[in-house]
Structure 1
Amino acid sequence: MSSTPKDPPITITTETSTVESTKRPERRRFFQWHEPGASKEEKWLIFKLDWFLLSFSCLTFFIKQLDQNNVTNAYASGMSDELGFGPGNELSWMNTYFNAAVIIGGPFSNLILTVVRPRFWLPFCLFTWSFFVLFLFKCNTAKEFYALRFCVGLFESAAWPGIQYVLGCWYTRSEIARRSGLFVMSGVLGQMFSGYLQSALYRGMDGRGGMPAWRWLFIFDFILAIPVSLYGVIFYPDTPETTTAFYLSEWERKRAVERMEQDGRAATPALKFDWTVIRRVAGSWQLYVFSIAYSLWTLTCGSYVMQYFTLWLKSTGKYSIPQINNIPTSLGAVNFIFMLGTGYIVDLVGPTKGRGAVCFVVGCLWTFCFAVLTVWDVPEKLKMAVFILCGCYGCFTPLLAGWVNSVCGGDQQLRAFVLAFMVSLGQAVVIPFQQLQFPSSQAPEFTRTHGWLSGLVFVVALTVFTGVGIDAVKRVVERRSK
């Protein structure tokens, strides 16, 4: 069984060589995908995990965000005009029914993952929600959209917390931030691709089969999900303790378990679902702290900014439908850069002190963006720039997920429940807030409801809480336990 050797000592002869010897390893480490000194066998194990585990995770989240964003693209590409949507806040209610289902489904789905193999449960959920997406193309009334959006959200709720849970079973603290970032970035690509797909369908499929282009979008989304579901059933590796993946050797399976033990996150023995689980989870500080953090993030309504950006472009009357679908994807590109960059920085600086500092810096930039949108009466170029820069919001989700995976240790049920519950609570608090402060009928200024101002308040609160609050609570808990 191989071990991870340390770098050999360096002989230092001059003051100049001292500086060089301390700087070079750090400079190299930023571009390394593994821990320095990892053996060839361990690198091969991580490569397999990245190829099979991470690839299915990314493809699933890509489909999830594609399906979550398709309603907005369809709404701006003819659906609202054809069906007479707008005055009744139909788009906001579609979001509300979707979020209500996420609240119900998320915690139960993640607890199911502790007893049902992920390679069966997650592909099943992916196929089922995509099946409901398919039937959106037949909808002609708002109530039909509401019912199907609820069904989509119920099964789609398994994707984010479930995959983050499985990633935390395989990757160490020093590896998880970058992988979580890549995973969530795939969702950003899904948002962007939804805009490009709707734009392409508008040019090439509008009127085909007697249907407008926005209806074809839902059909194509379902077709894309089928091969991803099959790929997951065949190649997803479950967890290190239960894996039967044909591409992992016996040594690699044992080494995967040892890696978690060496990281201080060895899996606890399988536990029954009884009152001890509730007592243990309810008594944990992680449940409350990360639920508050994620709720503050959702209350900023940052995940809807691309939607508001789209509605603003449409309200100006200056842009064509393909432009209305394509321009907001630039926000996704900023999201992509921030997720990748912050993941690397956290792994480089160290998960102990890196996450809080990164959240604070990004939060300050986001505060500036919301401050400009609160003022609103600014030059159009500045407004477009801050809409695009709001893409920095997305890095908070992988940072928080990696944080949970790090601090919950080997308690699989605690980790699974916290990841799911914080998402459910976040969706629960944002439902009334989004309806009251950001109703689609008031877009994009939200002047009467003071939407941007209220969002700014929560951006500031999120910045302070994640920047210094979480680490402060953790230190207090550790001090008391000692």
Structure 2
Amino acid sequence: MSAPQVEMAAAKAGEVAPIQAAPAVPSERNSAQLDDEKPAPAPQPAEAGIRRWFHWHEPGTSAEEKRLIFKLDWFLLSYSCLCFFIKWLDSNNVTNAYASGMAEELGFGAGNELSWMNTYFTIGNLVGASFANLIITVIRPRFWLPFCLTVWSIFVLFLYKCQTAPQFYALRFCIGLFESAAWPGITWTLGCWYRKSELSRRSALFVVSGVLGQMFSGYLQAALYSGMEGKGGMSAWRWLFIFDFILAVPVAIYGIFCHPDTPHSTGAWYLNEWERQRARERIEEEGRKPVGKMDLTVIRRIFLSWQVYAFTIAYSLWTLTVGSYVMQYFTLYLKSTKWYTIPQINNIPTSIGAVNFVVMLATGFVSDKIGRRGPVCLAVGALLTFNYIVLTVWNVPHGLRMAVFILCGCYGCFTPLLAGWANEACGGDQQKRAFVLGFMTSVGGAVVIPFQQIQFASSQAPRFAKTHGWASALVFVIALTLWTGFGIPLWQKWAEKRVQVDDEDEERARD
């Protein structure tokens, strides 16, 4: 307020405004100090543009809310990342063990034992995913998620005792059954806390942790092969399962004490009352206030919605690209060349994870910034299409084949993009959102079982020439690109317009 405004306000209040002293003339002694206190120049347009794109909080976020988000990132996001890291560590360890002496020691030969281990794991996943994510709406996440992590880690530990393929199949089914709670459950809880403009970046970091788990599994097996072979009378590949279990124990304990549950049920010790209330308001301001309940209406709310079909189709097309198995096929390719040592065979495929890491973070930032997932999916799908064309042709220079295997790491960004998209599209219906995230995982896992067994049998790796594996996967890559780039956006736009018209008709009927 300026001095004249102060005098006018004081006059209206019947008071005499104090006489303003003349500003002191700065002396030479303090002129440097005054120069230091001058406001910083405004950022240049280019610098402001960069800040608008690469920011962690939305512009205008208060210091108090930034502190709330920091706590969520520190506790909720960190546990989510650690849990997913363990999940992918445990998912990928069989491949690394298989390539590091397990097949030879147990006499698996040229059969499809590795494919069947993947299949039984996937069957466990599809049986458990939908039910696990409905359970999480009843049992608090800080109990349910660490419980599932503990149980599947115990089954992972038992793998070190296996002597036959059927023993692996049984344990892999049990591991998949309880691991099915991880991805949809964590994705659901992230959607409970973060805004739409924050969700893709956090989902990307969460899924990136799984990529790091894949990479670490290779590094760990390579280190164990060099340092633990023969220790305790066991092969190094058996030690891998023991170390995986040891790493999981502190993560489960951390989750019990630090997972915040949901904004409307939280009792987290690190959140004060204002932060708990603000967390609820943040979600409600976006029209995602929890609605609905676990009753018979949930069936109608789910299966008459567009979301359950749109995202289930998308996730199924994604699994049918066999992108999640590319690191495994790359490992088998390196082994088939007979040019690389076992540590190299375990380490080189981790470069796929590095590509995955970069692409996930980049696509998460871009999709949050533009507020749309479709264009990002379209761009990544175009790159993935090129990679699969090269793998389908196959008769290309070794360097190009290596490059496209590594660039296939871009496939992973579809997971956080679809998860964030489904989270925001389902709004506040907690049961529908939970079921959609679990159901899309189950169906995606179900459809890939026969496809992976027939088209990508491990006995035909890495070219899959007789089964035309890469060519058939290319068809699904193209379908995925078109469906996520054009199909879902158009369906969502039509559905939202229809809801708006129905609401207007209902309002006119009341009038």
Q: TM-score, normalised by structure 1?
A: 0.94
CA contact (8 A) 1:168 1:176 kept: yes
Q: What is the deviation of 1:266?
A: 1.2
**1:290 partnered with 2:308:** no
CA RMSD of aligned residues (A): 1.0
**1:26 partnered with 2:19:** no
**1:179 partnered with 2:202:** yes
**1:416 partnered with 2:437:** no
**3-state SS of paired residue (1:37):** coil
Q: Distance in 2 between matches of 1:63 and 1:53?
A: 16
Change (3 A) 1:409 1:25: farther
Q: In the alignment, what sits opposite 1:255?
A: 278
Q: In the alignment, what sits opposite 1:339?
A: 360
Q: What is the deviation of 1:86?
A: 4.0
CA contact (8 A) 1:369 1:387 kept: yes
Q: Distance in 2 between matches of 1:296 and 1:91?
A: 23
Q: In the alignment, what sits opposite 1:7?
A: none
Q: 2:62 aligns with which of 27, 34, 39?
A: 39
Q: In the alignment, what sits opposite 1:224?
A: 247
Q: What is the deviation of 1:275?
A: 2.1
> AA paired with 1:216?
W
Q: Distance in 1 between matches of 2:498 and 2:289?
A: 23
**3-state SS of paired residue (1:140):** coil
Q: In the alignment, what sits opposite 2:103?
A: 80
Q: In the alignment, what sits opposite 2:24?
A: none
Q: In the alignment, what sits opposite 2:173?
A: 150
Q: In the alignment, what sits opposite 2:468?
A: 450
Q: In the alignment, what sits opposite 1:12?
A: none
Q: In the alignment, what sits opposite 1:199?
A: 222
Q: In the alignment, what sits opposite 1:311?
A: 332
Q: In the alignment, what sits opposite 1:326?
A: 347
Q: What is the deviation of 1:114?
A: 0.5
Q: What is the deviation of 1:477?
A: 1.5
Q: What is the deviation of 1:479?
A: 2.7
Q: What is the deviation of 1:26?
A: 3.4
Q: 2:483 aligns with which of 442, 465, 471?
A: 465
Q: In the alignment, what sits opposite 1:14?
A: none
Q: In the alignment, what sits opposite 1:117?
A: 140
Q: In the alignment, what sits opposite 1:394?
A: 412
Q: Distance in 1 between matches of 2:49 and 2:286?
A: 21
- Alignment deviations for residues 302-339 of structure 1 (CA, whole Å, 9 cap, x no partner): 10000000000000000000000000000000000000
> AA paired with 1:154?
L
CA contact (8 A) 1:446 1:452 kept: yes
Q: Distance in 2 between matches of 1:176 and 1:466?
A: 18
CA contact (8 A) 1:86 1:441 kept: no
**3-state SS of paired residue (1:260):** helix
Q: Distance in 2 between matches of 1:393 and 1:475?
A: 25
Q: What is the deviation of 1:87?
A: 2.6
Q: Distance in 2 between matches of 1:41 and 1:32?
A: 17
Q: Distance in 2 between matches of 1:217 and 1:248?
A: 38
**3-state SS of paired residue (2:287):** coil
Q: Distance in 2 between matches of 1:120 and 1:175?
A: 25
CA contact (8 A) 1:376 1:383 kept: yes
**1:136 partnered with 2:154:** no
Q: How many equivalent pairs are there?
A: 458
Q: What is the deviation of 1:366?
A: 0.4
> AA paired with 2:339?
K
Q: TM-score, normalised by structure 2?
A: 0.89
- Alignment deviations for residues 49-72 of structure 1 (CA, whole Å, 9 cap, x no partner): 000000000000000000000000
Stretches (4+) displaced over 6 A: none
Q: Distance in 2 between matches of 1:147 and 1:131?
A: 13
CA contact (8 A) 1:119 1:236 kept: yes
Q: Distance in 2 between matches of 1:57 and 1:26?
A: 31
Unaligned residue ranges in structure 2 (runs of 5+): 1-42, 502-511
Q: Distance in 2 between matches of 1:26 and 1:107?
A: 42
Q: Distance in 1 between matches of 2:406 and 2:269?
A: 44
Q: What is the deviation of 1:22?
A: 6.5
Q: In the alignment, what sits opposite 1:479?
A: 497
CA contact (8 A) 1:59 1:186 kept: yes
- Alignment deviations for residues 121-142 of structure 1 (CA, whole Å, 9 cap, x no partner): 0000001000000000000100
Q: In the alignment, what sits opposite 2:297?
A: 276
Q: Distance in 2 between matches of 1:36 and 1:85?
A: 58
Q: In the alignment, what sits opposite 1:163?
A: 186
Q: Distance in 1 between matches of 2:358 and 2:402?
A: 18
Q: What is the deviation of 1:347?
A: 1.2
CA contact (8 A) 1:86 1:440 kept: no
**1:209 partnered with 2:232:** yes
Q: What is the deviation of 1:367?
A: 0.4
Q: What is the deviation of 1:278?
A: 0.6
CA contact (8 A) 1:161 1:420 kept: yes
Q: Distance in 2 between matches of 1:414 and 1:81?
A: 47
Q: What is the deviation of 1:88?
A: 2.4
Q: Distance in 1 between matches of 2:322 and 2:47?
A: 42
Q: What does 1:421-436 correspond to in 2, within 5 Å?
A: 421-436=439-454
Q: In the alignment, what sits opposite 2:505?
A: none
**1:69 partnered with 2:92:** yes
Q: What is the deviation of 1:475?
A: 1.5
Q: Distance in 1 between matches of 2:475 and 2:203?
A: 27
Q: What is the deviation of 1:349?
A: 1.4
Q: Distance in 2 between matches of 1:335 and 1:200?
A: 23
Change (3 A) 1:409 1:21: farther
> AA paired with 1:320?
T
Q: What is the deviation of 1:229?
A: 0.3
- Alignment deviations for residues 72-104 of structure 1 (CA, whole Å, 9 cap, x no partner): 000000001111224320000000000001011
> AA paired with 1:389?
L
Q: What is the deviation of 1:263?
A: 1.5
Q: Which moved more, 1:78-87 or 1:417-426?
A: 78-87
Q: Distance in 2 between matches of 1:131 and 1:372?
A: 41
Unaligned residue ranges in structure 1 (runs of 5+): 1-19
